[in-house]
């Protein structure tokens, strides 16, 4: 078959890998100048390594991406470390990067810390079927089993950080998946995640796929023999199309989709991401990689000091700090200028480190994406459309369909495998 894939993110490239390996003729269209999607990076002039636009790492439990890394011969570039993750509470930072730090967390009475630890152990190691959990919210379930104190001190900040005003709508299956798939050690690549995306792109090209960067697609049109892709270099015909795009872009590309289906994908809500990255002349925190911040006290969700995880020598000595948040797509942070966001965010850095001064900033970058974190309300499984759309030969594979898992590169790989398998199986059964 001739197969067109829209999007050279990790899901699109993984699907291209499987389909090319199976002998199909694959063309991948990507509007950006590089592959990688949300995992792609940018590079300052004197850096040895690029840096992700949106902070990234993988976990030791991320089986799908680890297997793909092995398959394409890229394991030598992957390494794991145990950086310190933490929670802000009552004016200071408390590590939460292991069982012992959690048991020492003073926000909870000791018996509640033990109870919380037992609940997390049950979710991570004992509970295997998430389906019953999606009938209740994470707020209600954790209040009942972990207790009000644990919910308020640890779980509510996590949910509010991810989902803002929708925190108490999110179902427990999503939270179970988050605990289930995490490890204390975090993985990263020599050269960053961009190096992995580039290696996967190179492997796909070696298998015969045509990866077209800086090539936006304007329209997908069904015809008698399959599908036509209207892109910047003209119209091209394909037997099958895989669109790895947001619900909004799918709606724009294929307005011919049935009204009921379009209504279904329009009901899939998601948060956007806003990340201000700073290159500092001095270290901001005392060795902390990731600090969860309470939204009622700070103007953003996560303070991530990347160079407390990866040596700053890779970035010409810069201390790199992300100030990140998930927000509704109509939030003012998507309209404010970089300078206006700097004015809002910098006082928060002084709360974390009173010595911080704006003169520490050498450079800054602002990255924003409207579609970054799907919202999973109760009974969300019934909202997820299948990979095959109602139009024959058109498949849609997006982060909305990795549920109950949280979006990320591992589940993007898994999604790419799934959609490629479905395309191949549909071909064999037709």
pLDDT for 182: 84
In a domain, 45, yes or no: no
Residue 151 maps to a domain: yes
Among 30, 53, 31, 28, residue whose Cα is nearest residue 42: 53
- 155 falls within a domain: yes
Query: According to the 3-state scheme, what is the secondary structure of the chain?
Result: CEEEEECCEHHHHHHHHHHHHCCCEEEEECCCCCCEHHHCEECCCCCCCCEECCCCCEECCCHHHHHHHHHCCCHHHEEEECCEEEEEECCEEEECCCHHHHHHCCCCCHHHHHHHHHHHHHHHHHCCCCHHHHHCEHHHHHHHHCCHHHHHHHHHHHHHHHHHHHHHHEEHHHHHHHHHCCCCCEEEECCHHHHHHHHHHHHHHHCCCEEECCCCEEEEEEECCEEEEEECCEEEEECEEEECCCHHHHHHHCCCCCHHHHHHHHCCCEEEEEEEEEEECCCCCCCEEEEECCCCCCCCCEEEEHHHCCCHHHHCCCEEEEEEEEECCCCHHHCCCHHHHHHHHHHHHHHHCCCCCHHHEEEEEEEEEEEEEECCECCHHHHCCCCECCCCCEEECCHHHCCCCCCCHHHHHHHHHHHHHHHHHHHHHC
- Does 350 lie in the same domain as 278? yes
Last residue within a domain, chosen from 127, 146, 177: 177
Mark whether 356 and 412 lie in a shared domain.
no
Q: What is residue 204's predicted lDDT score, i.e. its pLDDT?
A: 98
d(CA 95, CA 87): 6
Q: Is the peptide bond before 404 cis (omega within 30 degrees of 0)?
A: yes
Do 216 and 254 fall into the same domain?
Answer: yes
CA dist., res. 418 & res. 15, Å (int): 8
> Are residue 303 and residue 154 in the same domain, yes or no?
no
The verdict on residue 80 lying in a domain is no
Q: Is residue 236 part of a domain?
A: yes
Kindly state whether residue 275 falls inside one of the protein's structural domains: yes
Within a domain: residue 336?
yes
Spatial distance between the Cα atoms of 228 and 27, rounded to a whole number of angstroms: 12
Output the pLDDT for position 430.
Answer: 55
Of 21, 35, 2, 6, give the one whose Cα is nearest residue 389.
6
Structural domain boundaries, residue 121: 98-177
Query: In whole angstroms, how far apart are CA 112 and each of 107, 150, 180, 277, 294?
Result: 10, 7, 21, 36, 20
CATH classification at residue 336: 3.90.660.20
**In the chain, how many domains are there?**
3
- Do 142 and 127 have their domain in common? yes
Are 282 and 251 in the same domain? Answer: no
User: Rounded distance, CA 240 to CA 228, Å?
Assistant: 9
CATH number at residue 139: 1.10.3110
**Residue 409: which CATH number?**
3.50.50.60
Neighbours of 150 (CB within 10 A): 24
Residue 314 forms part of a structural domain? yes
Q: How far apart are CA 308 and CA 43, in angstroms?
A: 19
Question: Which two three-digit tokens encode residue 159?
Answer: 């949910």
Residues 154 and 121 in one domain: yes
- Residues 151 and 274 grouped into a single domain: no
Q: Are residues 370 and 274 part of one domain?
A: yes
Residue-level pLDDT, tens digit, the chain, 430 residues: 999 999 999 999 999 999 999 999 999 999 999 999 999 999 999 999 999 999 999 999 999 999 999 999 999 999 999 999 999 998 999 998 877 887 788 888 889 988 998 999 999 999 989 999 999 999 999 999 999 999 998 899 889 888 989 999 999 999 999 989 888 899 999 999 999 999 999 999 999 999 999 999 999 999 888 999 999 999 999 999 999 999 999 999 999 999 999 999 989 999 999 999 999 999 999 999 999 998 889 999 999 999 999 999 999 999 999 999 999 999 999 999 999 999 999 999 999 999 999 999 999 999 999 999 999 999 999 999 999 999 999 999 999 999 999 889 999 999 999 999 999 998 665 5
Task: Identify whether residues 365 and 285 lie together within a single domain.
Answer: yes
Contacts of 206 by beta carbon, 8 Å cutoff, 6+ apart: none
pTM of the full predicted structure? 0.95
Q: What is the total residue count of the chain?
A: 430
Domain final residue pick, 346, 374, 402 = 374
């Amino acid at each position: 078959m001739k197969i067109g894939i829209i999007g050279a993110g990790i899901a699109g490239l993984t699907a291209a890998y499987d389909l090319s390996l199976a002998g199909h003729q694959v063309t991948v269209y990507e509007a950006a100048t590089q592959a990688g999607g949300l995992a792609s990076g940018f590079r300052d002039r004197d850096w040895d390594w690029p840096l992700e636009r949106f902070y990234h790492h993988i976990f030791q439990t991320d089986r799908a991406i680890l297997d793909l890394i092995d398959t394409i011969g890229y394991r030598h570039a992957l390494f794991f470390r145990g950086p310190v993750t933490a929670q802000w509470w009552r004016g200071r930072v408390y590590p939460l990067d292991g069982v012992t730090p959690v048991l020492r967390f003073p926000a909870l009475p000791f018996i509640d810390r033990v109870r919380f630890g037992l609940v997390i152990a049950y979710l991570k190691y004992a509970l295997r079927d998430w389906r019953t959990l999606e009938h209740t919210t994470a707020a209600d379930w954790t209040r009942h089993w972990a207790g009000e104190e644990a919910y308020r001190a640890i779980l509510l900040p996590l949910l509010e950080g991810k989902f803002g005003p929708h925190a108490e709508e999110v179902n427990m299956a999503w939270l179970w998946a988050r605990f289930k798939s995490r490890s204390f050690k975090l993985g990263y690549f020599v050269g960053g995640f961009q190096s992995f995306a580039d290696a996967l792109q190179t492997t796909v090209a070696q298998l015969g796929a045509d990866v077209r960067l800086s090539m936006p697609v304007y329209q997908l049109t069904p015809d008698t023999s399959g599908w036509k892709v209207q892109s910047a270099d003209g119209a091209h015909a394909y037997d099958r199309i895989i669109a790895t795009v947001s619900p909004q872009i799918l709606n724009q590309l294929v307005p011919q989709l049935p009204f009921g289906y379009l209504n279904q994908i329009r009901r899939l809500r998601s948060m956007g991401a806003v990340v201000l990255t700073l290159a500092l002349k001095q270290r901001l925190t005392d060795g902390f990689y990731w600090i969860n911040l309470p939204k009622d006290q700070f103007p953003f969700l996560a303070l991530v000091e990347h160079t407390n995880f990866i040596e700053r020598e890779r970035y010409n000595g810069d201390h790199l700090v992300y100030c990140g948040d998930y927000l509704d797509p109509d939030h003012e942070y998507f309209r404010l200028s970089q300078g206006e966001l700097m004015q809002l965010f910098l006082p928060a850095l002084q709360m974390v480190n009173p010595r911080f001064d704006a003169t520490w900033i050498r450079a800054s970058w602002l990255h924003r994406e409207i579609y970054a974190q799907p919202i999973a309300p109760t009974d969300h499984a019934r909202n997820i459309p299948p990979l095959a759309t109602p139009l024959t030969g058109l498949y849609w594979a997006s982060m909305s369909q990795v549920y109950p898992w949280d979006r990320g590169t591992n589940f993007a790989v898994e999604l790419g495998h799934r959609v490629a398998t479905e395309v191949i199986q549909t071909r064999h059964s037709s």
